[in-house]
Amino acid sequence: MVLNKNVLGKMTEFEILIERLKVEERTWLVTGIAGFIGSNLAEFLLKHNQKVIGLDNFSTGYQYNIDEVRNSVGEELARNLYFIEGDIADLETCQQACKGVDVVLHQAALGSVPRSIEDPIASNRSNVTGFLNILTAAKEAGIRRFIYASSSSVYGDSKELPKVEERIGRLLSPYAVMKMTNELYAGVFSKTYGIETIGLRYFNVFGPRQDPNGGYAAVIPKWICSIQNGEDVFINGDGETSRDFTYIDNVIQMNLLAATTTNITSFDQVFNVASGGRNTLNELFQIICDELAKHCEFFEKPIPVYCDFRLGDIRHSNADISKAHKIVSYTPAYDIFQGLEETIKWYVEKNV
């Protein structure tokens, strides 16, 4: 992870936090630890002398992600990871996972707008029932800090750019409804039970370990691997749909800042987690091709195949991250170019 100092050379809040982690050991519950975001969070925590309890049912995550985390941190630090295979839709499993925990980083979910449209019942079981279970278990265990993943999908059909946390539009998918329900439940639990809940509205997160396969794969890993393997690259719509693509290390930073902040105005709040930029799908395709060309001696740029617009998708998405910066000192360390450089390097080396 790149750590940026401000223009005066002083340590950032995140750098100060990392120094504190060296001497302040906590026990963190990371739900969805076998997934893309969860495994990266767990790896960072373990490398910084923290204890991690991981929970996953492997519905969308993989054992090899956990294995890679253990290998990356080394045998000694890997002893600080305790894994529970189980489903957040089961309350008893959540209660077991919350024992002895100081902070919850709730990442587990059945992601994807199209998946929720195809099967809203299965998505709801994980994304609403599961969320309520883990939130209830945290309350019962006396856990004070509960950080959870929300989504930029809650902005719905709002045409305002950049997206500001306090203003949303009409929701466009079951997934968006579920994530908004999470925010409502978290708010009620904060007011009723005093849990310090903080929601993170992720904007198109990408990076190493993101699954490129399957019908619900995110666009960046899918395109990288399709181009590497000489397969067709499909672009939904006219390619002018735009997104605020956010590198995984920015997400790790925001989770840890939220989990450790002493600013009481951050509780019962939601924050945009993004880079604060915006790129169209056509631009993204060109950036990926340019970066891949650096790794391939005889790279030939493919011609993309344009398809229908995808049902439930927001047309444009760009985050205002000033609230997160002001309240918890969030400062993205990576833009899309730096993030894609690291991501593509990983996929090329792994030959995924």
Q: Kindly list the domain boundaries of the chain, sorted by start residue.
A: 13-203+248-276+319-333
Token digits of residue 318: 């760009």
Q: Given 155, 175, 334, 347, which residue is catalytic? A: 175
Q: What is the pTM of this model?
A: 0.93
Instruction: Count CB atoms within 10 A of the CB of residue 19.
Output: 12
Span 5-25, pLDDT tens digits: 554 457 888 999 999 998 899
Query: Residue 1: what pLDDT?
Result: 58
* pLDDT for 196: 98
The first and second tokens of residue 319, run together, are 């985050």
| pLDDT tier, 193 (very low <50, low <70, confident <90, very high otherwise) | very high
175 catalytic residue (yes or no): yes
Q: Residues 13-203+248-276+319-333: name the CATH superfamily.
A: NAD(P)-binding Rossmann-like Domain (3.40.50.720)
Token code pair at residue 133: 């279970």
- Other C-beta atoms closer than 10 Å to the C-beta of 316 total 18
Percent of the chain's residues with pLDDT above 70: 97
For residue 110 the two structure tokens come to 């059945």
Q: Tokens in use for 26?
A: 């906590």
Which residues neighbour 17 within 8 Å (Cβ) at sequence distance 6 or greater? 256, 257, 260
**Alpha helical stretches, state H, the chain:** 13-21, 36-47, 63-73, 75-78, 91-97, 113-118, 120-124, 130-140, 174-193, 219-228, 248-260, 281-293, 322-328, 336-350
Q: What is the pLDDT of residues 93-141, one digit of tens each?
A: 999 999 999 999 999 999 888 899 999 999 999 999 999 999 999 999 9
Cα torsion through 333, 338, 342, 347, rounded to 10: 130
